[in-house]
Amino acid sequence: MPRAARFFIPLAVIVISVSGCADRPDLTGRVAPVAKGTAWPTLLPSDQLTVDADTDASGTAQTAKDLSARAAALRARAARLAATPVLSSTERARLSAASNG
């Protein structure tokens, strides 16, 4: 028998034995009682579950306008971030020397 098994098997037996002595938690008042005569809920097909929140054209147009404005702002931010290098030339040289060397 491996040395680790000689240690872990008795430890597992002790832990399981001690956990069996613990009291069950009191769940009184935390779980709502279910009436025995209540019918089970009916399941709906998935095509009935998908409903669009905005069905009118004005809401869709406004949403598209908002999304295009947000996309433009994100593109501008990406262009600003891409224009500024993350590493200085000294740091880039150190990194290149360390990775090649």
Residue 38 lies in a domain: no
The whole domain housing 91 covers: 56-101
Residue 51 lies in a domain: no
pLDDT tens-digit readout, 40-68: 888 888 877 776 544 555 667 888 889 99
Q: Write the CA distances from 10 to 13, 22, 26, 72, 75, integer angstroms.
A: 5, 19, 31, 64, 61
pLDDT digits (tens, 9 = 90+) for 27-41: 777 777 777 888 888
d(CA 44, CA 22): 43
pTM of the model: 0.34
Asked if 96 and 90 count as a contact pair (C-beta separation under 8 A), the reply is no
Asked whether residue 35 is assigned to any structural domain, the reply reads no
- The number of distinct structural domains making up the chain is 1
Residue 54 in contact with residue 63, Cβ under 8 Å? yes
